[in-house]
């Protein structure tokens, strides 16, 4: 009953005409951002954070707007996957496997509507799961001391590193780059600046928003210069859009199973939505067997990854809200948003600021319904947006990024830093070094160091204190396993390559 009372509180916060309007705007923007090739949920939310911040919205409104954008982008990602065979971001890759063949077979409309419904089911179930699970996990999180938090942060870096890259050394380097950058600036304990190289601009440290926008949005422009904007023309025609009731009905169990699988994959700290859509697709493929025809454009092959992907996006909010450890690149960006709004996620968030948590959950539910209503009838409008030429889109994104960062600090130095992060992001991605651990490192580095230092103060410098409780030991084992296991499971976990024409 507690949950219902809390939910009522959430809706009372989130259901005003003004926030509803924000939700609709956010969903619309988000779907566009997700649909545009080269713009995924992470860069989309990243470039909008500075602007939202300078608009001076209060915490709840900003959260409603940005979570709507977040869910919207998860929905929109499927449009470019299905019509262009270009995943808007990594989790959407699995949707191309059956979505694009289905579209080529003349069923683009069916695939779009079905994937929209699957997204709704996944996101809805995940939000319900979040409501039930997050308060429980928040209670457990009260048992966490500094030693446990240190191990938890380590776990996030290890599982993210294990999953995100094909090479453990590269993801370790990525985490170290992020953590190293986080150390720059004034030391929390002594108040003395460190590692600034005497540069006054660095005394405040490197703003994570600058790094996020640089790595995600600015880096993209170099990729488009490299490819000269090729491969963005619409390859398949979208005729009349009807609702494929039969396919939706046939996929009901697929959607349910995929949502459950995706949700739990999303909860793993650091694993996130890519793992969710991958596991959902693979498990459905195994259940369907050879006769299922996965990979040739079957309805279930579209429904499974979309339900899994959106459900994982909701699942990833569980560790982010209760422990302050994001489960994916996009939740890392949302964590950045919360930190910008001066909200510290963690177990105390549920008791101290219930209106924020439950307002967020209510706005997720609202956004989800708005998205379903918006996406099915308006799918043609969003498809039109795909024909925006990259020669207009990418400069536009760059200018929006510049203005966003500039309006935050008004300093040319942050803009230069953002360009530097853009160049870094290009080279890292070119070398197959994941960029999400860099972001995670910058976001969590300070807290990870603080946890270590507080633990050492408590134990008077005895390192064994870090593995002194059962929870801490469990987290350490999970961290080490999460880092090492993918090396051996690589053959099994190898992602199917996207289809080429």
Partner 1 sequence: MASDRIFGLVVLFTALAYFAGATQIQTGFMSDPVGPKTFPYLVSGAAALAALVLIFKPDPDPAWPATRTLANMGIAVVVLVAYAYLLKPLGFIVPTILAAGILSYQIEPRAKTAALSGVGLAIGLFIVFRFALGLSLRAFPHGWGL
List contacts with partner 1 (CB under 8 A).
51, 54-55, 166-170, 172-173, 175-177, 179-180, 183, 187, 189-192, 194-195, 197, 218, 221-222, 224-226, 228-229, 389-392, 394-396, 398-400, 402-403, 406-407, 410, 412, 415-416, 418-419, 422-423, 426-427, 430-433, 448-449, 452-453, 456-457, 460-461
* Residue 420: closest CA among 224, 206, 164, 227: 206
Give the angle 289-123-75 at the CA atoms, nearest 5°.
Answer: 90
108 or 451: CB nearest partner 1: 451
Strand bridging mode 185-186 / 193-194: antiparallel
What's the rounded Cα separation, in Å, for the pair 112 and 380?
A: 10
Give me the half-sphere count of Cα atoms (radius 13 Å) on the Cβ side of residue 217: 34
286 or 423: CB nearest partner 1: 423
143 or 169: CB nearest partner 1: 169
190 or 242: CB nearest partner 1: 190
What is the nearest approach in angstroms of partner 1 to the Cβ of residue 463? 10
Decide if 476 contacts 467 (C-beta within 8 A): yes
What is the nearest approach in angstroms of partner 1 to the Cβ of residue 421? 11
* Residue 271: closest CA among 217, 330, 220, 344: 330
What's the rounded Cα separation, in Å, for the pair 427 and 79?
A: 28
99 or 445: CB nearest partner 1: 445
What is the nearest approach in angstroms of partner 1 to the Cβ of residue 244? 37
287 or 400: CB nearest partner 1: 400
Could you tell me which residues come within 8 angstroms of residue 59 by beta carbon, excluding any fewer than 6 positions away?
A: 341, 342, 343, 356
Decide if 101 contacts 297 (C-beta within 8 A): yes
What is the nearest approach in angstroms of partner 1 to the Cβ of residue 164? 14
133 or 388: CB nearest partner 1: 388
Instruction: Report how many helices (DSSP H) and strands (DSSP E) the chain contains, helices first.
Output: 23, 2
What is the nearest approach in angstroms of partner 1 to the Cβ of residue 271? 20
What is the nearest approach in angstroms of partner 1 to the Cβ of residue 413? 8
What is the nearest approach in angstroms of partner 1 to the Cβ of residue 19? 18
What is the nearest approach in angstroms of partner 1 to the Cβ of residue 485? 18
Decide if 256 contacts 308 (C-beta within 8 A): no
Decide if 364 contacts 71 (C-beta within 8 A): yes
What's the rounded Cα separation, in Å, for the pair 238 and 218?
A: 32
90 or 284: CB nearest partner 1: 90
What is the nearest approach in angstroms of partner 1 to the Cβ of residue 14? 22
35 or 415: CB nearest partner 1: 415
What's the rounded Cα separation, in Å, for the pair 168 and 170?
A: 5
Structure tokens of 140?
């457990």
**How far, CA to CA in Å, does 81 sit from each of 37, 66, 168, 220, 498?**
9, 23, 28, 18, 10
Give the angle 373-122-303 at the CA atoms, nearest 5°.
Answer: 90
263 or 402: CB nearest partner 1: 402
54 or 351: CB nearest partner 1: 54
- Map tokens 């600015």 to a residue: 218
- Give the burial class of 239: count Cβ atoms within 10 A of its Cβ; 0-12 exposed, 13-18 middle, 19 or more buried: exposed
What is the nearest approach in angstroms of partner 1 to the Cβ of residue 389? 7
What is the nearest approach in angstroms of partner 1 to the Cβ of residue 489? 18
């Amino acid at each position: 009953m507690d949950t219902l009372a809390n939910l009522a509180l959430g809706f009372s916060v989130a259901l005003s005409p003004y926030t509803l309007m924000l939700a609709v705007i956010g969903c619309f923007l988000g779907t566009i951002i997700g649909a545009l090739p080269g713009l995924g949920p992470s860069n989309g939310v990243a470039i909008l954070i500075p602007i939202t911040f300078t608009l001076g919205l209060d915490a709840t409104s900003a959260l409603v707007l940005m979570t709507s954008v977040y869910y919207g982008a998860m929905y929109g990602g499927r449009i470019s996957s299905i019509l262009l065979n270009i995943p808007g971001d990594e989790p959407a890759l699995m949707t191309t496997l059956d979505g694009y063949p289905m579209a080529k077979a003349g069923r683009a409309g069916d695939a779009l509507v079905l994937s929209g419904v699957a997204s709704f089911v996944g996101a809805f179930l995940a939000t319900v799961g979040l409501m039930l699970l997050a308060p429980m996990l928040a209670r457990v999180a009260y048992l966490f001391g500094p030693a446990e938090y240190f191990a938890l942060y380590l776990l996030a870096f290890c599982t993210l590193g294990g999953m995100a890259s094909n090479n453990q050394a590269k993801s370790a380097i990525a985490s170290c780059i992020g953590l190293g950058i986080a150390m720059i600036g004034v030391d929390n304990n002594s108040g003395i600046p460190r590692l600034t190289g005497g540069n006054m601009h660095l005394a405040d440290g490197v703003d994570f928003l600058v790094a996020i926008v640089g790595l995600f949005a600015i880096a993209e422009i170099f990729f488009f210069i490299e490819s000269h904007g090729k491969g963005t023309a619409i390859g398949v025609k979208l005729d009349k859009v009807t609702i494929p009731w039969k396919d939706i009905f046939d996929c009901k169990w697929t959607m349910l199973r995929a949502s459950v699988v995706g949700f739990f994959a999303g909860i793993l700290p650091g694993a996130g939505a890519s793992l969710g859509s991958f596991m959902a697709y693979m498990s459905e493929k195994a259940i369907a067997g050879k006769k299922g025809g996965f990979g040739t454009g079957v309805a279930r092959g579209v429904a499974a990854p979309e339900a899994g992907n959106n459900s994982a996006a909701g699942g990833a909010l569980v560790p982010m809200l209760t422990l302050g450890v994001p489960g994916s690149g996009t939740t890392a960006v949302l964590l950045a948003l919360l930190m910008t709004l001066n909200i510290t996620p963690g177990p105390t968030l549920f008791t101290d600021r219930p209106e924020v948590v439950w307002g967020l959950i209510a706005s997720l539910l609202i956004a989800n319904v708005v998205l379903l209503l918006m996406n099915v009838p308006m799918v043609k409008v969003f498809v039109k947006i795909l024909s925006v030429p990259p020669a207009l889109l990418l400069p536009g994104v760059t200018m929006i990024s510049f203005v966003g960062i500039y309006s935050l600090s008004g300093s040319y130095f942050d803009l230069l830093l953002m360009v530097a992060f853009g160049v870094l992001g290009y080279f890292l991605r070119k070398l197959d070094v994941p960029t999400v651990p860099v972001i995670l490192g910058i976001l969590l580095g300070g807290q990870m160091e603080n946890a270590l230092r507080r633990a050492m103060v408590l134990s008077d410098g005895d390192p064994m204190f870090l593995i002194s409780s059962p929870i801490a030991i469990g987290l350490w084992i999970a961290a080490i396993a999460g880092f090492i296991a993918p090396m051996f499971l690589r053959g099994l976990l190898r992602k199917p390559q996207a289809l080429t024409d």
